[in-house]
Amino acid sequence: MAEGAGRKLMVEVCNAKNLMPKDGQGTASAYAIVDFDGQRRRTKTKSRDLNPQWDEKLEFIVHDKDSMPSETLEVNIYNDKRTGKRSTFLGKVKISGSTFVKSGSEAIVYYPLEKRSVFSQIKGELGLKVWYVEDDPPETENAGEEKAESAPAAEEKPPEKEKKEDENKPKEESKEEKPKEEATAEAAAPPPPEVENPPIAQTEKPKPPKEKHGEVQKRADLNVSDHELRSLRGDRSCSAYDLVDRMPFLYVRVVKAKRPKPETGSTVYSKLVIGTHSVKTRSESEGKDWDQVFAFDKEGLNSTSLEVSVWSEEVKEGDEKSESSLGTVSFDLQEVPKRVPPDSPLAPQWYTLESETSPGNDVMLAVWIGTQADEAFQEAWQSDSGGLIPETRAKVYLSPKLWYLRLTVIQTQDLQLGSGPEAKARNPELYVKAQLGAQVFKTGRASPGSANPTWNEDLVFVAAEPFEPFLVVTVEDVSNSKTVGHAKLHVASIERRTDDRTDPKSRWFNLSSEDESNSYTGRIHVRVCLEGGYHVIDETAHVTSDVRASAKQLAKPPIGLLEVGIRGAANLLPVKTNDGTRGTTDAYVVAKYGPKWVRTRTIMDRFNPRWNEQYTWDVFDPCTVLTIGVFDNGRYKRGEDGEPNRDCRVGKVRVRLSTLDTNRVYVNSYSLVVLLPSGAKRMGEIEIAVRFSCSSWLSLMQAYASPILPRMHYVRPFGPAQQDILRQTAMKIVTARLARSEPALGQEVVQFMLDSDTHVWSMRRSKANWFRVVGCLSRVATLLGWVDGIRTWVHPPRTVLVHVLLAAIVLCPYLLLPTVFMYAFLILVLRFRYRHRVPQNMDPRMSYVDMVSLDELDEEFDGFPTTRPAEVVRIRYDRLRALAGRAQTLLGDVAAQGERLEALFSWRDPRATGLFAVLCLVMSLLFYAVPFRGFVLVAGFYYLRHPRFRDDMPSIPANFFRRLPSFSDQIM
């Protein structure tokens, strides 16, 4: 039996909606056939129902746990004719095994039915629940196959004669007939498609592992000089660290030592000396292993020999320690062997220690020359990172998985508001308060005098896995400032849903008093669920790096791979002083894309550090932004109060993936500019290499036509104010979780990477957004000036040409649109050679950091609330800043629309502009063939179509336009 025989896949076929009528009477008798890993199951037939409800659970055996993510679950819907004819096809759904969830996290998901061929007439959607459970292995090896074979093939309802004939047909003949049958046009009179009957529970041959991105490509040569852009095309290999330079390191693995007569009560340690570099292992009692690895930056070594000595340490009376040398062994660095992965690690050997006083001692160690790609590098003592300090190590962090928790407060009943004539005489004014961790939200006040107050209000929280244990719901009385009662809802047991088609069940909870003196004070009616159909926004909208929904069932396969090589920095300025004498910088880099954060190792006390580290991310949407920040490490040192110091920001770089050509390497140096209360300061430069590879151009192009955010953001959106509150809450949760990691990713680092202060008023940002709007309006002024130049005959040949064009349009109006689109196509083709060839970073000039006054900077860095002494001024000032912050966001949104329109013609997004150029060409040819009046008629009818034929989701042109890049990601 296979290794994963103890796992079962459960598929619950719930229902289907709006199926295509196939029986000629406006209905269909639908049933579903589910295939997984050579196993087939079938549901019952629901007669004459376009919205059938099955609610049937089907069980499949997972033969191999490791290969389950690469498997595909396929569900085909057929119309059962029951007249001896073959069933007609109603649609299919394919689900990747990577979206299967474990038992307890399942939720119903509605999938749109797909066509099997171009001529299929399909519509509707299918609701499924898919999950897997871990089970004990079956008793016999063939139990799984016998169970799968127990599903009779006769349940698929084809006539017995046809089934026998199909069984007797040779395989070659059936393969030849299948393309012919599928090629028949279903548009005129759809012939019933053949229902394939593969052998039940037929175990497929093991599939070869899929090649990773770029495994068949050759390595690109990246030995380039600083401040130089190299765009390298062509093949590359799957070798890691192919975007960075290989850095030679001297590796020394010290395992253990032995001597002929070990002494009790003594400890031994080893010391490594290379010129002025000296480091020792930890002290261990004799007989125990050190097994420590040391990595010395070969370029920083100032000697050609390595000395390894072993020392014995004894504690005498009075806690005095005496040390004695057990011997030394020397190595010539010119003769140290090199190790190139995938060669196995070098085996340690015994070396005899040379000593005049204590002969016969040995030490086991291994010495080799390797690179930062060596697997021993991450856990080794690193000479350029200060040794084994946790805060200086390279680490990978993951943001917590976030959900929206929606609490709908419906009503309360049987409230115990007290006793006595005073309680009966007054009219209580009640509201409900809900608390999840530090988040507190309240409903409105219910109308006084109501016996059973009703609210019907939604309270939305941000919940992070692992969830807070309880959601506390409290009913409070405004009139006497007392708590009527509270109830605790266990968050882990709350129902999860992926869309708005099925509402969670409402429940009654008993209210109890806080002092527990009265165990029952009434009950409350609520509806609560975890919303998996939203993407919890924890970044600013214009620099988002992830748009996936919270529910795993809604996840789509990645469309590409993002590889980033963090090569090095140059000309960094000193950030702090070393021992109060000279300036120094301990720089490291943080890169953030999606939920994955990476931090390079800290290079100690260098103004031109070279990291040469490479990282990889899966890309699910091309219109996302990679953020890279450079910081000075201050946390590895403690302050006078014992707390770690703060990390100082050095600068930040953003790269939008849609502006990159696929399968092309960009290596460039970017300026690092940081905004301080004293003004903008250039801190140096960082050199990075970026490659965005995509295996399927079709999936990449389809992404431009799909909505940016999941469906729930459009069918049940949040208001602007609520969305801003939820985003700030999500940022705080991510910041707190990463700050609790070990080693911690500081709060100041996360907030700088997430741009958590973009909602705060800034005169500088408002000016930048205003001039962006003026820049877009200047294009209109340029066009009007061009028209005025034609009218005033500034350039006579151009004016004559416009006269001829005007006469042609008047005499032949049907040539207007084809000519416009043809001109647009030609202009786009001519501008292709002037497109940007370097990924653009944040622009200090566009951000107006060089022209801001100190007073405006003081206003920008002033906290909320302001620290100004006058109370009245402070209140007015804060109110003004809040209103101005909304105005600056509005200005930015307006500017972004104009910049997206301009991006169509500037080749900032090569794929989007390429699609638009092809569209212009197709439209020009189309309008040459189609009369203009016919197009106007069709367009008018389409625009005025009935709402029944409209979709709730945004249109393809709207999705395409919203995905076009703007300059929002270049504003600091």
Token couple for 55 = 């609610």
* CATH fold of the domain at 550-752: Immunoglobulin-like (2.60.40)
Question: CB-based burial of residue 424 (10 Å sphere; 0-12 exposed, 13-18 middle, 19+ buried)?
Answer: exposed
| C-alpha distances out from residue 792 to 655, 783, 800, 805, Å | 45, 14, 12, 17
Q: How far apart are CA 207 and CA 599, in angstroms?
A: 36
pLDDT of 312 over the 80 cut: yes
Q: How far apart are CA 460 and CA 443, in angstroms?
A: 11
Return the percentage of the chain with pLDDT > 90, whole number. 34
- Average pLDDT of the segment spanning 810-814: 76
More confident residue, 295 or 838: 295
Q: How far apart are CA 122 and CA 91, in angstroms?
A: 6
CB atoms within 10 A of CB 963: 22
Residue 441: which pLDDT band, with cuts at 50, 70 and 90?
very high
pLDDT of 180 over the 50 cut: no
Three-class SS of residue 560? strand
Do the beta carbons of residue 841 and residue 627 sit within 8 Å?
no
pLDDT of 815 over the 90 cut: no
Measured on CA atoms in the order 272, 276, 277, 278, is the torsion positive or negative?
A: positive
More confident residue, 463 or 87: 463
Return the percentage of the chain with pLDDT > 70, whole number. 82
Greatest mean pLDDT among 496-505, 565-574, 759-768 lies in: 565-574
Cβ neighbours of residue 260 closer than 8 Å, sequence gap 6 or more:
360, 361
- Average pLDDT of the segment spanning 269-277: 88
pLDDT of residue 181: 36
**Single pTM value for the model:** 0.74
Q: How far apart are CA 589 and CA 604, in angstroms?
A: 13
Residues in a beta bridge with 638 = 644
Residues in a beta bridge with 395 = 599
pLDDT of residue 555: 86
Greatest mean pLDDT among 143-152, 258-267, 924-933 lies in: 924-933
Report domain 399-418+425-498+506-529's class. Answer: mainly beta
Tens digits of residue pLDDT in 601-648: 999 989 999 999 999 999 999 999 999 999 999 888 877 777 888 899
pLDDT of 404 over the 90 cut: yes
Phi and psi torsions of 270, nearest 5°: -115, 145
CB atoms within 10 A of CB 237: 13
pLDDT of residue 550: 92
Q: Quick one: CA torsion of 566, 704, 730, 766, rounded to 10 degrees?
A: 80
DSSP single-letter state for residue 114: B
Residue 216: which pLDDT band, with cuts at 50, 70 and 90?
very low
pLDDT of 533 over the 80 cut: yes
Tokens 């330079």 sit on residue: 245
- Average pLDDT of the segment spanning 679-690: 91
pLDDT of residue 356: 80
Q: How far apart are CA 346 and CA 760, in angstroms?
A: 56
pLDDT of 298 over the 70 cut: yes
Cβ neighbours of residue 366 closer than 8 Å, sequence gap 6 or more:
251, 252, 253, 255, 345, 346, 347, 348, 349
DSSP single-letter state for residue 723: H
pLDDT of residue 169: 39
DSSP single-letter state for residue 85: S
Residue 940: which pLDDT band, with cuts at 50, 70 and 90?
low
Q: How far apart are CA 316 and CA 753, in angstroms?
A: 54
Q: CA end-to-end span of the chain, whole Å?
A: 59
**HEC assignment per residue over 137-185:** CCCCCCHHHHHHHCCCHHHHCCCHHHHHHHHHCCHHHHHHHHHHHHHCC
Do the beta carbons of residue 906 and residue 835 sit within 8 Å?
yes
CATH code reported for the domain at 246-382:
2.60.40.150
| C-alpha distances out from residue 384 to 298, 586, 603, 639, Å | 10, 10, 5, 23
Q: Which CATH superfamily is domain 5-132 in?
A: C2 domain (2.60.40.150)
- Average pLDDT of the segment spanning 61-66: 88
pLDDT of 172 over the 50 cut: no
Structural domain boundaries of the chain?
5-132, 246-382, 399-418+425-498+506-529, 550-752, 776-968
Q: How far apart are CA 75 and CA 109, in angstroms?
A: 13
pLDDT of 956 over the 80 cut: yes
Out of 330-344, 467-481, 731-745, 802-816, least confident range: 802-816
**HEC assignment per residue over 235-285:** CCCCCCCCCCCCCCEEEEEEEEEECCCCCCCCEEEEEEEECCEEEECCCEE
Tens digits of residue pLDDT in 314-323: 766 656 677 8
pLDDT of 708 over the 80 cut: yes
Amino acid occupying residue 938: V
- Average pLDDT of the segment spanning 661-679: 89
pLDDT of residue 192: 39
Do the beta carbons of residue 572 and residue 587 sit within 8 Å?
yes
pLDDT of 867 over the 90 cut: no
pLDDT of 866 over the 70 cut: no
Tens digits of residue pLDDT in 26-54: 888 999 999 998 899 999 999 888 999 99
Closest CA to 572 of 583, 561, 564: 583
Q: Does the fold of domain 550-752 match that of domain 5-132?
A: yes
pLDDT of residue 159: 38
Tokens 């009046």 sit on residue: 933
Do the beta carbons of residue 177 and residue 191 sit within 8 Å?
no
- Average pLDDT of the segment spanning 68-92: 84
Measured on CA atoms in the order 789, 792, 796, 799, is the torsion positive or negative?
A: positive
Buried b (16+ CB within 10 A) or exposed e, 4-43: bbbbbbbbbbbbbbebbebbeeeebbbbbbbbbbbbbbbb
